[in-house]
């Protein structure tokens, strides 16, 4: 390359460098360019390496031209680095100046406890104060615990009262929380005060008041000389506590194979106040607490001597009670995953919710 050509080449390289520098926005990228330009393989680098190929009388001039080009390129790079640093500091300062630590934070949407869970916890607290323990049983049950031990043998017509999901392994999805009565008696013996909240399953066609998956709370109290008045007294305390208002109760005879006598404790409809509406089938009353005195066969199945002990049992419709409490008309809302059911059921609108007085939501 003759000297003139060399000068042109140097000028091109310098122009390229300053164009490239203007386009680079970070210090790292600029440092990368430094390597490319001045390293052996870089375009300036190869010019420097070529100085020794010129005849000795030209080498001084060529060397000087190349070296001063190298110097200018280095300076341009350093200049750009300084610019970027100042810009960084400035924008950091601007950010710091615009940050106001006294402003409230961005509100995060809060979830809520499911209405059924909320009522379940309330019931648990209430019963714990009455000296009951809280037990859980399996959702996949044996025929024995779900039916046999509860005085419902295989061919008993009472099995027709509960449409059951049978599983391939010969077990079933429990249709009621009552099997926990047997499990608890076997585990703790008598005397005993236990409640067992939990999910139950029935082979139902789903509509506004039927679900295939719902919740109950089973209750069992065994002691000496337990009688129906104890049961009714407890029912009153419980329902008043959960509904946070006075409720009217009505007691009727009812049939359940695991109790004798069996009763139905009804509560005045909280949706219509007892005047009659579709939810209470225009009767003004809701079946909320089927119960009774534990059948001797059931005590025996739990290993408890019916000659020595008596007890009452009940199977509270937890899902139904939650619906009453929050004025939810349509049971499907509860398993729908609709977040409004969790945070504020009232926002579901009047098709699903009545304007029944909400106590704590």
The site for ligand DAH (CB under 6 A) is made up of: 176, 178, 218, 256, 259, 290-292, 313-315
The least CB distance from residue 103 to ligand DAH, in Å, is: 54
Q: Containing H/E element for 289?
A: strand 285-294
CA neighbours closer than 13 Å in the CB half-sphere of residue 280:
22
Residue with smaller CB distance to ligand DAH, 120 or 354: 120
Paired tokens of 106: 């961005």
In angstroms, what CA-CA distances link 175 with 74, 180, 303? Answer: 83, 12, 23
The least CB distance from residue 257 to ligand DAH, in Å, is: 9
β-strand partners of 221: 193, 312
Q: Containing H/E element for 263?
A: strand 259-268
The least CB distance from residue 259 to ligand DAH, in Å, is: 4
The least CB distance from residue 303 to ligand DAH, in Å, is: 18
The least CB distance from residue 145 to ligand DAH, in Å, is: 12
C-alpha span between 243 and 124 (Å, rounded): 14
Residue with smaller CB distance to ligand DAH, 77 or 313: 313
Task: Return the closest-CA partner of residue 115 out of 299, 349, 321.
Answer: 321
Residue with smaller CB distance to ligand DAH, 18 or 209: 209
Residue with smaller CB distance to ligand DAH, 9 or 202: 202
The least CB distance from residue 262 to ligand DAH, in Å, is: 6
Contact 291, 313 (CB under 8 A): yes
Residue with smaller CB distance to ligand DAH, 126 or 342: 126
Select the residue whose beta carbon is closest to ligand DAH and give its number: 315
The least CB distance from residue 140 to ligand DAH, in Å, is: 17
Residue with smaller CB distance to ligand DAH, 103 or 154: 154
The alpha carbons of the chain give a radius of gyration, in whole angstroms, of 41
The least CB distance from residue 254 to ligand DAH, in Å, is: 7
C-alpha span between 218 and 177 (Å, rounded): 6
Residue with smaller CB distance to ligand DAH, 35 or 261: 261
Residue with smaller CB distance to ligand DAH, 145 or 314: 314
Helix axes 3-23, 27-38, angle to 10 degrees: 170
C-alpha span between 28 and 31 (Å, rounded): 5
Please list the alpha-helical segments (H only) found in 159-293: 179-188, 228-243
169 phi and psi angles, rounded to 5 deg: -85, 10
C-alpha span between 271 and 283 (Å, rounded): 12
What is the β-pairing status of strands 133-134 and 192-201? Answer: parallel
């Amino acid at each position: 390359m003759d000297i003139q050509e060399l000068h042109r080449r140097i000028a091109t390289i310098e122009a390229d460098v300053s164009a490239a520098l203007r386009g680079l926005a970070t210090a790292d990228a600029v440092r990368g360019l430094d390597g490319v330009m001045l390293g052996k393989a870089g375009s300036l680098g190869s010019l420097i390496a070529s100085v020794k190929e010129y005849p000795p009388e030209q080498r001084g001039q060529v060397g000087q031209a190349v070296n001063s080009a190298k110097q200018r390129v280095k300076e341009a790079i350093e200049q750009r680095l300084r610019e970027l640093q100042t810009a960084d500091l400035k924008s950091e300062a601007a950010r710091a100046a615009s940050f106001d630590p006294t402003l409230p934070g961005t509100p995060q949407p809060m979830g809520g406890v499911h209405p059924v869970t909320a009522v379940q916890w309330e019931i648990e607290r209430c019963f714990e104060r009455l000296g009951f323990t809280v037990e859980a049983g399996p959702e996949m049950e044996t025929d024995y615990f779900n039916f046999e031990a509860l005085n419902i043998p295989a061919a008993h017509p009472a099995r027709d009262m509960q449409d059951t999901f049978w599983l391939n392994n010969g077990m079933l999805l429990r249709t009621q929380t009552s099997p926990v009565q047997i499990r608890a008696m076997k585990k703790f013996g008598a005397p005993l005060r236990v409640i067992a909240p939990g999910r139950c399953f029935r082979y139902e066609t789903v509509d506004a008041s039927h679900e295939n998956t719902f919740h109950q709370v089973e209750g069992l109290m065994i002691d000496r000389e337990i009688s129906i008045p104890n049961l009714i007294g407890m029912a009153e305390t419980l329902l008043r506590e959960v509904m946070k208002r006075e409720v009217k109760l009505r007691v009727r005879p009812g049939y359940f194979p695991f109790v004798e006598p069996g009763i139905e404790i009804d509560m005045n409809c909280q949706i219509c106040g007892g005047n009659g509406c579709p939810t209470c089938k225009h009767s003004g009353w809701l079946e909320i607490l089927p119960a009774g005195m534990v059948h001797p066969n059931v005590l025996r199945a739990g290993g408890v001597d019916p000659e020595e002990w008596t007890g009452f049992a009940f199977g509270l419709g937890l899902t139904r009670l939650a619906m009453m409490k929050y004025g939810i008309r349509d049971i499907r809302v509860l398993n729908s995953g609709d977040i409004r059911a969790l945070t504020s059921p009232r926002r579901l609108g009047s098709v699903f919710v009545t304007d029944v007085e909400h106590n704590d939501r």
